[in-house]
């Protein structure tokens, strides 16, 4: 269940993610790896308390230590202002428009997914690629977030079961284990 996107938007986004990082012999594509949930979680970050902006520290528990990434940081008023501007846009609110209007990610995703068309999920992959190439700004935006969701910490909603890291042989967050001097100097 998406937290911010509609079900239709979520399905379109999942198709987009799989064109950007498709399934392959090295692992699942971005959709199965949870990237749409990462993006939906960012767009709907303020439906959570604390908002899901910054995961906790110092360890995730994947290499020892406690599982602290899942406890997100509280935001200060200034942090909240910045992230609401980034996600929601300035919406005509004077306290968000001290340097003029700001378009938020929610609007960019709403309009971008609409521009891709309701039929996007039914197109064949080549046609989907063509349509993405016709919207380069939106595609660049989604691709940046897709990289974060695919190869970032799973606590943000993507990289499900560390699928992104497994596909590329990356060990992820390694604290508190770290690396031995021998693994560093003479691997």
CB atoms inside a 10 Å sphere around CB 134: 11
Q: Which of 27, 34, 41, 51 binds another protein (CB under 8 A)?
A: 27
Q: Is the CB of 95 or the CB of 137 nearer to another protein?
A: 95
Is residue 122 near another protein by the rule CB under 8 A?
Answer: no
In angstroms, the CA 20 to CA 173 distance is: 25
- Interface with another protein, residue 110, by CB under 8 A: no
Q: Which stretch binds another protein (CB under 8 A): 3-11, 22-30, 109-117?
A: 22-30
| SS3 category, 62 | strand
Q: Does 61 bind another protein (CB under 8 A)?
A: no
Which residues, in sequence order, are CB contacts of 125 under 8 Å at separation 6+? 19, 22
With CB under 8 A as the contact rule, the residue among 32, 50, 73, 123 that binds another protein is: 73
88 touching another protein, by CB under 8 A: no
Q: Which of 60, 106, 112, 120 binds another protein (CB under 8 A)?
A: 60
Burial of 68 (0-12, 13-18, 19+ CB in 10 A): middle
- Helix H segments across the chain? 7-20, 35-43, 77-88, 105-116, 125-133, 136-151, 163-168, 181-185
Per CB under 8 A, residues contacting another protein are 19-27, 53-60, 68-69, 73, 76-79, 81-83, 85-86, 95, 98-99, 102, 129, 139, 143-144, 146-148, 150-153, 156, 164-165, 167-181, 183-187
């Amino acid at each position: 269940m998406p937290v911010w996107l509609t079900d239709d938007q979520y399905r379109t986004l999942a198709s987009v993610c799989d064109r950007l990082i498709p399934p392959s012999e090295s692992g699942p594509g971005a959709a199965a790896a949870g990237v749409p949930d990462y993006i939906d979680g960012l767009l709907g970050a303020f439906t959570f308390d604390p908002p899901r902006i910054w995961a906790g520290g110092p360890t995730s528990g994947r290499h020892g230590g406690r599982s602290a990434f899942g406890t997100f940081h509280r935001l200060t008023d200034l942090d909240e202002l910045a992230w609401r501007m980034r996600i929601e846009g300035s919406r005509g609110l004077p306290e968000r428009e001290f340097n003029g209007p700001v378009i938020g990610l929610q609007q960019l995703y709403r309009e971008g997914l609409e521009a891709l068309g309701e039929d996007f999920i039914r197109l064949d992959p080549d046609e989907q690629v063509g349509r993405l190439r016709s919207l380069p700004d939106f595609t660049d935006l989604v691709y940046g977030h897709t990289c974060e969701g695919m190869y970032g910490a799973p606590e943000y909603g993507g990289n499900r079961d560390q699928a992104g890291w497994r596909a590329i042989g990356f060990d992820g967050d390694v604290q508190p284990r770290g690396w031995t001097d021998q693994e560093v100097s003479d691997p």
